[in-house]
Amino acid sequence: MELLVTPAGRIRCVYGDALDLRALGRLEIRRGSHVEPDGEGQWSADLAPVGGPVLGPFDRRSAALAAEVAWLRRHWLARPTAE
């Protein structure tokens, strides 16, 4: 699990269960995307909540989830924030 600590002391990450994040202080958890099936059983990852694209379609949900996490790490997690 990658944690990004901003100069203001805030921590950003792609949420996972690897760490108990409550130990770091008050949490603010927001949705980064929506991974959903379409009517034909294909999966997509809609990253609109963080200003990103729609990825997919993928044959498997696991592939959509992997693409979602890769995009969030590469584009959202590393993006500077206004603090």
Residues 57, 42: contact at Cβ < 8 Å? yes
pLDDT at position 7: 85
Q: Where are the domains of the chain?
A: 3-77
**What does the mean pLDDT of the chain come to?**
90
- Tens of pLDDT along 33-66? 999 999 999 999 999 999 999 999 999 999 999 9
Long-range contacts of 45-54 (CB under 8 A, 24+ apart): 45/71, 47/71, 47/72, 47/76, 50/76, 52/76
Q: What is the mean pLDDT of residues 57-81?
A: 91
